[in-house]
């Protein structure tokens, strides 16, 4: 089944998406009627709404990422903290926001890729980085703000 192209959908890389951010996405989708799809290697519960769904893909390296890349279209929004996935999404002219509310853009994605590669080489040489810090209330606020900005642009586009 193919998805509509360029309809302003939200795609979430849901395997590592914090529950708090899922709840923000669910509330926004229920409020606006914007289609929301959570893609993951596991089953994820969603509210009973026609435009909100969870798509479970097979286990495997980058299977969910590849499905998101295949389905997203220009103008869509993808929620992910996966930097290589974000680069592919940006190449498809869709927008990317991390669960911490950071917009990943054509202007900053190369720097993010370089930093990711640097950190990967540090970890492979034995340096322990400890992983990302826990989400804060400010992260949730930033995420909700970025989502609202994107939703506002969708509403303005639909009215024009």
Q: What is the rounded distance in angstroms from the CA atom of residue 81 to the CA atom of residue 96?
A: 9
Q: Which pTM value belongs to this model? A: 0.84
Q: Which residue is listed with tokens 């903290």?
A: 81
pLDDT of 122 above 70: no
Could you tell me the CATH number of the domain that includes residue 19? 3.40.50
Whether 119 has a pLDDT exceeding 70, the answer reads no
Q: State the total domains in the chain.
A: 1
Tokens of 127: 């340096």
Position 2 pLDDT exceeds 60: no
Check pLDDT > 90 for residue 16. no
Tell me whether residue 2 is in a domain.
no
**For residue 146, what are the domain limits?**
10-159
Specify the range with the lowest mean pLDDT, choosing from 35-49, 58-72, 111-125. Answer: 111-125
| Region 25-38 average pLDDT | 96
Distance CA 147, CA 77 (A): 9
């Amino acid at each position: 089944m193919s998805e509509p192209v360029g309809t302003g959908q939200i795609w979430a890389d849901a395997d590592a998406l914090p529950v708090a951010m899922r709840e923000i996405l669910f509330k926004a989708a229920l409020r606006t009627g914007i289609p929301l799809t959570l893609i993951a290697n596991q089953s994820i519960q969603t509210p009973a709404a026609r435009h909100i769904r969870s798509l479970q893909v097979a286990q495997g390296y980058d299977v969910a990422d590849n499905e998101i890349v295949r389905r997203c279209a220009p103008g869509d929004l993808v929620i992910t903290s996966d930097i290589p996935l974000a680069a592919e999404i940006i190449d498809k002219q869709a927008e990317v926001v991390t669960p911490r509310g950071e917009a990943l853009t054509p202007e900053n994605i190369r720097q993010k890729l370089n930093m990711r590669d640097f950190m990967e080489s540090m970890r492979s040489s034995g340096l322990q980085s400890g992983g990302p810090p826990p989400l804060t209330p400010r992260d949730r606020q930033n995420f909700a703000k970025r989502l609202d900005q994107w939703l506002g642009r969708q509403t303005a586009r639909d009215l024009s």
